[in-house]
A and B are shown apart, each in its own frame.
Chain A
Amino acid sequence: MKSSPNVTVLLTGLAVLALGVLLVLDADGAVDLRFAYMAPVLVGALGAILLAGGLAGRGRGRG
């Protein structure tokens, strides 16, 4: 049986990974993270995860 990947979990993982990379770069001094830029990034990531989850759920519902 072939199982399709869970889009929501995949996107959440990628978002957490990106956040980790950003924090490492900030600690290293390569980038300067400020709240004014981080807030929209976090809000956008959360929105993308919810949107992907909702669209995936709707797709499953049609099946």
Chain B
Amino acid sequence: MSHPANPPRGGLRIAIGTGLLVCSGLLFVRAAGPWPGDAIVWPGAVAVLGALLIWRAPGVVPRRRRGWAAHRPPEDPSLPLSPSSAPASSLPHEPPARVRALGRPEVSRGGLGVALVLAGGFAFLWASGATRPAGEALLAGLAVLVAVALIFAPSWRRLARSLATERTERIRSQERADVGAHLHDSVLQTLALIQRSAEDPRQVAALARRQERELRGWLAGDASHEPGERLAAALQEAAAAVEAAVGGSVEVVVVGDCSLEERGEAVLAAAREAMLNAAKFAGQAPVSVYAELSEERIQVFVRDRGAGFDPAAVPQARRGVRESIVGRMRRAGGQAAVRSLPGGGTEVEIALERGEQS
């Protein structure tokens, strides 16, 4: 399977060959037949080539992949699903192909086409003498531009490279944080629940089966929610799943509703994690969830009356609150605050402004 962004096999040779054949035909006509003039035909040919490049420029944005598929390089879809069996090229010391591609300057086909069309038009005007009156001023400006470009080109190149490297590092670290947060929410939480239910083999088996299904779906890149699903329903569903997994009761009150798109999914995942933590540590007391949802703003409060904890005393190695709630919301462009006191219960506030996106 070839990736859509890649040119088809032999495509470049076919394009150059076709261009040379057309060029050969034009040269024949120039030598033997009626010829409108170099000033018309050659600029016209360059402009037509540019127009072809613009028309053939890819305009389709690839569908966003989900789950582990979003972290796999698109060039090689046959890559093994297990990271431990990945080939040497995807080991941590070498960035995956997608990340490498981000650090490389890309020549846009459409941009090249626009440049060719402009060059063809300019060549036509130049050859027909239309630019002669402004020729001297144009030449002086061009000379200054070339001089400036020659002086500053090395520093521009260094700047572009450092920006690309910084962007690559940022994307890589964000992807690592996303994978870490997902593994924490799913596998680590399930393992903790299994430890708590060690006396009940049926419950352990049910937890393991549910986790296996979820992890397989995530590795395959399946969407966890249907397109068009609403956040209110998804929050109710998440509360029911937490009740089924941990026990206890989670009371949900939702005011308003909004679509569950990518950033809404981050809110849902953070809220689910907060509910799970609350249900685990609230004892017999119910967990209350209050959500105010609109297309402009999402706000979710998860409260419990459990033992509470000192957020500052949580070890660095524990990622539940730091990465799965606060870090996740920060990456999604929102914020999360955890208010808790030993003996005073816990409240998690999750907020996301969506005004600029809708």
Q: Is B28 an interface residue (CB 8 A)?
A: yes
Residues of A in contact with B, size category: 20 to 34
Q: Is B60 an interface residue (CB 8 A)?
A: no
Contacts of A52 in B (CB 8 A): 17
List of B residues within 8 angstroms of A51 by Cβ? 13-14, 17-18, 21
Using CB atoms, name the residue of chain B closest to A36.
B31
- Tell me whether B36 is interfacial, beta carbon within 8 Å: no
Known: A36-B31, A40-B28, A40-B31. A48 touches B10 (CB 8 A): no
Residues from chain A with Cβ under 8 Å of B21 in the complex: 44, 47-48, 51
| Closest A residue, CB atoms, query B13 | A54
Residue B19 at the A interface, CB < 8 A? yes
Q: Do A50 and B31 touch (CB < 8 A)?
A: no
Contact of A54 among B10, B24, B26 (CB under 8 A): B10
> How far does the Cβ of A38 sit from chain B's closest Cβ, in whole Å?
10
Binds B, one of A12-20, A25-33, A55-63: A55-63
Q: Are A58 and B9 in contact (CB under 8 A)?
A: yes
- In the complex, what residue of chain B is closest to A61 when comparing beta carbons? B9
CB distance from A26 to the nearest CB of B (A): 16
Give complex CA distance A23, B11 in Å.
33
- Partner of B17 from A48, A60, A61 at Cβ < 8 Å: A48
Across the two chains, which residue of chain A brings its CB closest to B9?
A61
Tally inter-chain residue pairs, CB-CB below 8 A.
74
Residue B8 at the A interface, CB < 8 A? Answer: yes
Interface magnitude class on chain B: 20 to 34
Q: Within the assembled complex, what's the spacing in Å between the Cα atoms of A53 and B13?
A: 7
B19 contacts A47, CB within 8 Å? yes
Tell whether, in the assembled complex, residue B20 and residue A58 are in contact, meaning their CB atoms are under 8 Å apart: no
CB distance from B60 to the nearest CB of A (A): 21
**Complex partner residue of B20 from A47, A53, A55, CB under 8 angstroms:** A47
In this complex, the member of B9, B14, B20 whose beta carbon has the largest number of chain A beta carbons within 10 angstroms is: B20
Check A10 for interface membership: any CB of B closer than 8 A: no
**Nearest-CB distance from A32 to chain B (Å)?**
13
Q: List B3-47 residues whose CB lies under 8 Å from chain A.
A: 8-28, 30-32
Task: Name the residue of chain A whose CB is nearest to the CB of B31.
Answer: A36
Known contacts A47-B18, A47-B19, A50-B20; is-contact A40 B13 (Cβ 8 Å): no
CB pair B13 A50 closer than 8 Å: yes
In the complex, the answer to whether A44 meets B13 with C-beta atoms within 8 Å is: no
Chain A to chain B: the 9 pairs with minimum beta-carbon distance, closest first: A47-B20, A51-B17, A44-B24, A50-B17, A54-B13, A57-B10, A40-B27, A54-B14, A54-B10
**17 A–B pairs (Cβ distance < 8 Å), ordered by A:** A39-B27, A40-B24, A40-B25, A41-B24, A43-B24, A44-B25, A47-B23, A48-B21, A50-B16, A50-B20, A51-B13, A51-B18, A53-B13, A55-B10, A57-B13, A60-B9, A61-B9
Show the binding face of A for B, using Cβ within 8 Å: 36-37, 39-41, 43-44, 46-58, 60-61
Other A-B pairs, 17, CB within 8 Å; known A36-B31, A54-B12: A40-B24, A43-B20, A44-B21, A44-B28, A47-B17, A47-B20, A47-B21, A47-B22, A48-B21, A49-B17, A50-B13, A51-B21, A54-B17, A57-B10, A57-B13, A61-B9, A61-B10
